[in-house]
Structure 1
Amino acid sequence: MPIAHIARRFGCTVPTKANLLLKCDRLPMTDQPLILDTSEYGLLTDLYQLTMAACYVGEGLEQRRASFEVFCRNTPDGYGYLVAMGLAQVVDYLQHFSFGAAQISSLKASGIFDHAPDAFWSLLAEARFTGDVWAVPEGTVVFPNEPLLRIEAPLWQAQIIETYALNALNYQTLIATRAARLRDLTGPKAALLEFGTRRAFSPQGSMWAARAAIAGGLDATSNVLAAMKLGRKPSGTMAHALVMALSALEGSEQQAFTSFHRYFPKAPLLIDTFDSVAAARSLAQRIQAGELELDGVRLDSGDLVELSKEVRSLLPGVPIIVSGDLNEAKVKALIDAGACIDGYGFGTKLVTGAPVNGVYKLVEIDGIPTMKASSGKSTYPGRKQIFRSFAPDGTFEGDRLGLMTEDPANATPLLELIMQDGQLLTPPESLDAIAQRTAANVHQLPANLRAIANPPTYFPTISTALQTLTDQTLHRIHKTP
């Protein structure tokens, strides 16, 4: 189809043959703040989800029962496992799934849906989620090709859900996995703090990052709103700005520390604004003189190995917290070098970076198994279950990916029924319970899968029944003209 025809179809123009960038017509500017409200959840989806839903209505297929599964084809480079996270936000989305009159009017005003059937608008006006949700509990370790989530619902509903479900699961799974790796690396006693709000991809992302980090094993977040909503106490120290401002206005770095402690007694102090060792030496003298009590110091720059050792010698009873673009590899290097560190703050490297590329694929429609058969991106058909086996000592032995109808055969099925007919079956779990599951799941894994550098990629075995169904489905696909 010519590009100009496509452009006209979606209200766009192609100015010149040399310029292939489409300039699309815009709706009148309304200057509304881009803050998400639960009443708008229905519209937080990609356009093609809605255009496909309209097509399903027009073809009379919208109510056919469809099953979609979320899984990752591979883990990100350097990751031996993933920690499933974000289910609570998917459930919240499904419970609020609707389209208000204002949202429907906006869709109509776009002109994109001028040829959509009238029944499409009636469907949106009465929308609510009426399907079933199967998922692994948050904090469960999963591997490539294993479904974190399955939506079983009328086709039109299951289709629209894709965008939000992937957004919530992909991002939080990434953060939780990193947090779990950090906790596994540093051990249970280290203080691990999430400082990533300023670097997260959005204000909403910062809230999800804080939640996933704590559920993955970190102790606290500096994000005050996230902490309050999660029933947690926020954690943090100070910035260099306070030390510089008060030093300039009140006379010295030590006076800045005194002023801060006047309002926040014993609070950890950031000591690397000017000279970390000199600051630690002055603090040691004040502590010995009985002038000061101190719950910690933070180092944010410099040679953290050598600085931490010098500070420890000067302040032997004071916890040392370090920060500054830390990730798993840097923390491991600090530990291997014998750094004297009691806690770590994580920001940019925790909340940004290579994504978890979870996908959402149709696996069954109206009882008919379906699969994608394209080279390099093929999928397994049918509604599936993960069957996990454990050794006698409780450690991870292996996973089998099979069909929901299979006998577990002494293995533990991981996907559980979370919602049925649109109704939540189990109450939300606490972050503490999820964090405990995360730790337990990670500790069950062999050391090679937990490695920070160059872990192997583990794939579950495919059951005989699933392989047979795959072969049958491929034969049907290739036989169909």
Structure 2
Amino acid sequence: MYIRGSRGIHGIVFETKEFNTEETCPLFSSTHAQSPKSRRKKKREQGLMEGKENGPDGKKPGRVIDGPTNPMVTPLLNDLYQFTMAYAYWKAGKQSERSVFDLYFRKNPFGGEYTIFAGLEECIKFLANFNLTDEEIDFVRDSLPGCEEAFCDYLRGLDCSDVEVYAIPEGSVVFPKVPLLRIEGPVAVVQLLETPFLNLINYASLVATNAARHRFVAGKSKLLLEFGARRAQGPDGAISASKYCYLGGFDATSNVAAGKLFGIPLRGTHSHAFVSSFMSLDEIVDKALRSSDGKSTCEDFVSLVQTCLTKIQNSSSLHGVFSETNQSELAAFTSYALAFPSSFLALVDTYDVMKSGIPNFCAVALALNELGYKAVGIRLDSGDLAYQSTEARKFFCAIERELNVPDFGKMIITASNDLNEETVDALNKQGHEVDAFGIGTNLVTCYAQAALGCVFKLVEINNQPRIKLSEDVTKVSIPCKKRTYRLFGKEGYPLVDIMTGENEPPPKVGERLLCRHPFNESKRAYVVPQRVEELLKCYWRGNAG
């Protein structure tokens, strides 16, 4: 993307044919989110019912906005120096000076060429519920030696009614240096938003980008399942990961709490422990299973499974592939199928995938088929996933062909086992029959990169541009209140993002525009846009309009 030549700000040319935002990153809105129960609820509702909140278009929706998903997101989720600066601003009489801050990042994560913006919804919820309780103000007073009581009175009256926030829509593809958010308002108040906003956006955007990269490598046709709750950095890490992996292109999560909070589809089966907890088929007491249409009942489903296993053993094309299977595993699969006949999916690598797990699964799946049910498939969690998935598919297709079971060869094969972007890519190059990937640790912990590195910089105060200088040119901030645009070419694909000063005329369709890099004079390009889209939209307008 680049910026206007006469007063260029920043740009990096990008090609989006490889990544379709609408298909891969649909905007996620947590319409099912629950309001946290906090001691600030009464004050929050009183303020909001007075019309201090606004919707994505800046207009008042006339409703109470829920608080942040995590009730720990309060004004105290802050660095101490935000409060020391607020106090110093107040002492100097500068607390109400009108300021403009940009929130942006300097480099795309994971060595990539794009980032997915996420976390905006939580920021708006935080703004809508911003206030300090008496207990919190007392704690701030105790943490600031010599703090005057009048400052505590000032804090007691703080809210975000005089703050405006302009942002790129959540779920958008974004690029370095371009403001994700522009925050305007009294400098002391906006300063208190810095740490919470960075906290809410840095990880959200990082993990959403990680998810999108996995989606890109896996391809559009594969199911992507987020299995990271047990490996995430604490409860909030798990909940946030589930939400933003879904935004980034994943199809479902194993996290039940995230499913409840955000309406994300849930997926999950059983573990190795469930399989190894069974000793024999004799442990199954209730052996009856009604047919899918409810018209009949199989009184001994266990015997039906054993009969189906014998059929497989006698199959000509599968003769010699296996002999005796593990009967405790067969008992576990049979028991699980009795509990979930309509959604039977088995973990088949507890003992031996090809000599026990796959044949046992197929025996149970065939028995279910005779009662009108259709098994879902298998999960592989160890070994050579490409080879095992290919051999499993051959096994399924052989049963479909020899035993005349329609669509048996289309069983879903899910692979897990510490997968990441590189291993999925390697599987693709090797060739496999995997339909779904269950990814956890490397996804939710963002193992390849610990942080996105968003920053929050003052760019204007009292209508005067401000700049942060550095010997490291990458850390030089871009001054002034800016507008940002995305320019599209003839084929409808974005060509470039540009930034201009607030009062500069916007780019015009069909009019040639010189775009240039703000720090590298050799990087410049002429663009003739066929469509122009302004990126920053008002999501919070305080008491205005």
TM-score normalised over the length of structure 1 = 0.77
The offset of 1:144, in angstroms, is 0.9
What residue is the counterpart of 2:516 in the other structure? none
Residue 340 (structure 1) aligned with residue 425 (structure 2): no
State the Cα deviation string for residues 195-218 of structure 1 (Å, max 9, x = none). Answer: 111111121121111111111111
Whether 1:269 aligns to 2:346 is yes
Alpha-carbon separation, structure 2, partners of 1:359 and 1:39: 22
Matched residue type, 2:495 = E
2:484 to 383, 386, 390: 386
Q: Provide Cα deviations, 1:86-107, integer angstroms capped at 9, x if missing partner.
A: 1001111111111101111222
Q: What residue in structure 2 maps to residue 70 of structure 1?
A: 103
Identity of aligned residues (%): 38
Q: Tell me the secondary structure at the aligned position of residue 180 of structure 1.
A: helix
What secondary structure, in the 3-state scheme, does the structure 1 residue paired with 2:437 have? strand
- Distance of 1:357 and 1:37 partners within structure 2: 22
Seen in structure 2, the aligned counterparts of structure 1 residues 404 and 346 have a Cα distance that, compared at 3 Å, is farther
One-letter identity of the residue aligned with 1:389: L
Using the TM superposition, give the Cα deviation of residue 38 of structure 1 relative to its aligned residue in structure 2, in angstroms: 3.8
SS at match of 1:173: helix
Which residue type is aligned with residue 302 of structure 1?
Answer: G
Aligned-pair CA distance for 1:79? 1.3
Call closer, same or farther: CA 1:233–1:77 in 2, change over 3 Å: closer
Q: Deviations over 1:223-257 (max 9, x none)?
A: 11111111233211222111122348946011111
Structure 1 segments, 4+ long, off by >3 Å, are 35-40, 247-251, 285-293
Partners of 1:216 and 1:280 in 2: how far apart? 33
The structure that is helix-richer by fraction is: 1
* Structure 1 match to 2:333: 257
Q: Secondary structure at the match of 1:133?
A: strand
- Could you tell me how far apart the structure 2 residues matched to 1:64 and 1:248 are? 76
1:419 aligns with 2:515: no
Report the alpha carbon displacement of residue 176 of structure 1 after superposing the two structures with TM: 1.1
Q: Distance in 2 between matches of 1:138 and 1:146?
A: 14
What SS does structure 2 have at the residue aligned with 1:198? helix
CA distance in 2, matches of 1:37, 1:329: 32
C-alpha displacement of 1:75: 1.2
Map of 1:361 onto structure 2: 457
Pick aligned residue for 2:181 from 132, 143, 149: 149
Deviations 1:145-187 (A, max 9, x none): 1111111111111111111111111111111112222222323
Partner AA of 1:416 in structure 2: K
- Which moved further from structure 2: 188-197 or 284-293? 284-293
Say if 1:148 and 1:37 are closer, same or farther in 2 by CA, change over 3 A. closer
Given that 1:325 and 1:347 are in contact with CA atoms closer than 8 Å, whether structure 2 keeps it comes out as yes
Q: Does 1:102 align with 2:135?
A: yes
* Cα deviation, residue 286, structure 1: 4.0
Moved more, 154-163 or 244-253: 244-253
Look up the equivalent residue of 1:101 and give its one-letter code.
Answer: D
Contact 2:224–2:252 under 8 Å retained in 1: yes
CA distance in 2, matches of 1:95, 1:247: 57
Offset from partner CA, 1:426-459 (integer Å, 9 cap, x none): xxxxxxxxxxxxxxxxxxxxxxxxxxxxxxxxxx
**What is the DSSP-based 3-state SS (H/G/I as helix, E as strand, rest coil) of the residue aligned with 2:350?**
coil
- Please give the secondary structure, in 2, of the residue aligned with 1:418: strand
Tell me the distance in 1 between the aligned counterparts of 2:543 and 2:429. 50
* Residues 279, 47 of structure 1: alpha-carbon distance in 2 compared, 3 angstrom cutoff: same
2:213 to 170, 176, 181: 181
Select 1:401's aligned residue among 493, 499, 513.
499
Contact in 1 for aligned 2:280/2:331 (Cα 8 Å): no
The separation in 2 between residues aligned to 1:39 and 1:126, in whole angstroms, is: 21
How big is the shift at 1:40? 6.2
1:116 aligns with: 147
* 1:307 partnered with 2:376: no
What's the counterpart of residue 93 of structure 1? 126
2:81 pairs with 1:48: yes
Higher CA-based Rg: 2
Higher relative contact order (CA 8 A, sep 6+): 2
Whether the 8 Å contact between 2:333 and 2:364 is mirrored in structure 1 is no
Instruction: Give the match for residue 282 of structure 1.
Output: 360
Q: Which amino acid aligns with 2:454?
A: G
- AA partner of residue 367 (structure 1): N
**What residue identity is the alignment partner of 1:128?**
D
Q: Which runs of 5+ in 1 are unaligned?
A: 1-34, 426-481
The correspondence of residues 96-245 of structure 1 with structure 2, limited to 5 A, is 96-109=129-142, 112-130=143-161, 131-245=163-277
Residues 70, 359 of structure 1: 8 Å contact kept: yes
- Residue 365 to residue 233, structure 1, CA distance change in 2 (3 Å): same
Note closer, same or farther for the CA distance 1:247–1:362 as it changes in structure 2 (3 Å cut).
farther
Q: Note the residue ranges of structure 2 that are not aligned, 5 or more in a row.
A: 1-67, 284-326, 397-408, 509-531
How far apart are the structure 2 equivalents of 1:168 and 1:187? Answer: 29
Q: Distance in 2 between matches of 1:247 and 1:126?
A: 66
| Cα RMSD, aligned residues only | 2.1
Cα distance in 1, alignment partners of residues 412 and 535 from structure 2: 40
> CA 1:56 to 1:301, structure 2 compared with 1: closer, same or farther past 3 Å?
same
User: What SS does the corresponding residue of 1:41 show, helix, strand or coil?
Assistant: coil
Conserved 8 A contact 1:72-1:144: yes
1:2-41 pair list within 5 angstroms: 38=71, 41=74
TM-score by length of 2: 0.68
Equivalent pairs, count: 388
Q: Is the 8 A contact 1:40 1:103 kept in 2?
A: no
